[in-house]
Amino acid sequence: MSLPEAGAKRAVVEAMFDRIAPRYDLMNRLMTFGIDRGWRRRAIAALALRPDERVLDLACGSGDLAAAAVEAGGRVVGVDVSAGMLREARARRLGCGLVRADALALPLADASIDAVVSGFALRNFVDLRAALAESARVLRPGGRIALLEVDRPASALLRYGHAIYFRRIVPILGALVAERDAYAYLPESTAYLPDEPTLRGLLAAAGFGAIAKRSLLGGAAQLVTAERTDDAAERAGRPAERSPHA
Ligand SMILES: C[S@@+](CC[C@H](N)C(=O)[O-])C[C@H]1O[C@@H](n2cnc3c(N)ncnc32)[C@H](O)[C@@H]1O
């Protein structure tokens, strides 16, 4: 599957996730040998949730991160553009709200969220800059964001092994379990991922500070965390409110 043009991307991505939704969780477990569960726990732990904090699982898919956030005591809403993925999430009765919406136009009030988590979704957004700005808008000043994504190992040897696994084996596994095209898109879509300095720049421009990146499994994945600064509110032309936790 070739990468879609920007204009078609949202519809192509939405239709693809609608199709693979019933096999999505199984593929995740097989592809990562279940290691993704630990990554998800780390992403939620990085948010250091306090009881009843309002959490947005951005592009929640079938709801693994939302489930972990509920378990950690958050009041969670998951947002996703794919009706098929949301159907899978609803079937799990996660104890959270689930809303079909675009990450670029969240149906949430300004500063209404304490923490945003997002798993393996950045590559799929049509406009990452706009998606980060929208996350900053709904986060209160001092609110935290944790972004889990695939990555490229820094070591040449690991990068070689990773490329073979990701570009040759995963599409075959995808063909057997779900759909070859979708799991050929997965490695291809890393082309949409900015490198670390660019992602840091985008986060800073959206109004995030305290940006930190942790490499997972030798760089196969990354966990990027940040905090919304007061500047983000000023940028959006409204007075910054004080964080109750500041
Ligand atoms: C690889 S899946 C990740 C799902 C889930 N976050 C996880 O960790 O397993 C990417 C998800 O992003 C969703 N998505 C893609 N573009 C989106 C957008 N513009 N707004 C909201 N969700 C979007 C897809 O429907 C899909 O469920």
Locate the domains of the chain by residue range: 6-235
pLDDT, tens digit, for every residue of 5-40? 766 888 999 999 999 999 999 998 998 899 999 999
75-80 and 208-216 beta bridge pairing: unpaired
Region for 34 from its dihedrals, namely left if φ exceeds 0, alpha if ψ lies in -120 to 50, beta otherwise: left
Quick one: what percent of the chain has pLDDT higher than 90? Answer: 70
Structure tokens given for 55: 């959490």
Q: Is the pLDDT of residue 241 over 50?
A: no
CATH H-level superfamily of 6-235:
Vaccinia Virus protein VP39 (3.40.50.150)
**Atom 4 in ligand 1: residue holding the nearest Cα:** 61
The more confidently predicted of residues 168 and 130 is 130
Quick one: average pLDDT of 191-217? 96
Read off the pLDDT band of 185 (50, 70, 90): confident
Cβ–ligand 1 contact at 150 (below 6 Å) = no
Q: Where are the beta strands (DSSP E) in 7-62?
A: 54-58
Element (H, E) at 137: helix 128-138
pLDDT at 187: 81
Quick one: average pLDDT of 59-69? 98
Cβ–ligand 1 contact at 146 (below 6 Å) = no
Quick one: average pLDDT of 188-213? 94
Residue partners of 38: CB distance under 8 A and separation at least 6: none
Element (H, E) at 163: helix 156-164
